[in-house]
Amino acid sequence: MADIYEDIRKGERGAWVSIAAYLILSSLKLISGYLFASSALLADGFNNLTDIVASLAVLIGLRISRKPPDSDHAYGHFRAETVAALVASFIMAMVGIQVIVEAVRSLFEGAKATPQLWSAGIALICAVAMFGVYIYNKRLAMQINNGALMAAAKDNFSDAMVSVGAAVGIVGAQFGLPWMDSAAAIAVGLLISKTAWDIFRDSTYRLTDGFDEDRLMDLRSTIARTPGVEGIKDLKARVHGNHVLVDVVIEVNAELTVMEGHHISDSIEERMQKMHNIMNIQVHVEPKA
Mean pLDDT of 3-28: 82
217 and 203 part of one domain: no
Q: What percent of the chain has pLDDT over 70?
A: 94
Residue-level pLDDT at 8: 73
How far, CA to CA in Å, does 102 sit from each of 42, 96, 119, 154, 285? 11, 10, 19, 26, 61
* CB atoms near residue 153 (< 10 Å): 23
200 and 249 part of one domain: no
Does the pLDDT value for residue 17 go beyond 60?
yes
138 and 271 part of one domain: no
Higher pLDDT, 205 or 88: 205
How far, CA to CA in Å, does 110 sit from each of 73, 113, 114? 57, 9, 11
Q: pLDDT tens for residues 85-133?
A: 787 778 778 877 877 887 788 777 764 566 777 888 888 999 999 999 9
Higher pLDDT, 91 or 231: 231
Q: pLDDT tens for residues 176-203?
A: 777 776 777 788 778 878 888 888 898 8
Q: What percent of the chain has pLDDT over 90?
A: 22
Question: Of the residues 181, 207, 233, which one is the last residue of a structural domain?
Answer: 207
Mean pLDDT of 222-231: 92
Give the phi and the psi of residue 231 in degrees, each rounded to 5.
180, 160
183 and 218 part of one domain: no
How far is residue 77's CA from residue 32's CA, in Å, rounded to a whole number? 42
How far is residue 82's CA from residue 169's CA, in Å, rounded to a whole number? 35
CATH number of the domain that residue 33 is part of: 1.20.1510
Question: Of the residues 143, 176, 207, which one is the last residue of a structural domain?
Answer: 207
Mean pLDDT of 27-50: 83
128 and 187 part of one domain: yes
Range of the domain at 47: 2-207
Residue-level pLDDT at 102: 76
Q: pLDDT tens for residues 157-177?
A: 878 877 887 788 778 777 777
Residue 111 per-residue DSSP state: -
235 and 203 part of one domain: no
Residue-level pLDDT at 122: 87
61 and 190 part of one domain: yes
Number of compact structural domains in the chain: 2
Residue-level pLDDT at 248: 94
Place 5 in a pLDDT band, splitting at 50, 70 and 90.
low
Residue-level pLDDT at 253: 92
Residue-level pLDDT at 286: 92
Mean pLDDT of 261-285: 90
Question: Of the residues 207, 226, 260, which one is the last residue of a structural domain?
Answer: 207
126 and 65 part of one domain: yes
258 and 153 part of one domain: no
85 and 191 part of one domain: yes
What is the residue-averaged pLDDT of the chain?
A: 83
How far is residue 26's CA from residue 28's CA, in Å, rounded to a whole number? 5
If you write DSSP's letter for every residue of 182-205 in order, what string do you get? HHHHHHHHHHHHHHHHHHHHHHHH
Q: Which of 43, 11, 20, 21 is nearest to 30 (CA)?
A: 43
How far is residue 198's CA from residue 54's CA, in Å, rounded to a whole number? 13
200 and 237 part of one domain: no
Residue 51 near residue 155, CB atoms below 8 Å: yes
Give the phi and the psi of residue 278 in degrees, each rounded to 5.
-100, 120
Rg over alpha carbons for the chain, rounded to the nearest Å, is 24
Q: Which of 87, 20, 93 is nearest to 60 (CA)?
A: 87
Does the pLDDT value for residue 1 go beyond 60?
no
159 and 264 part of one domain: no
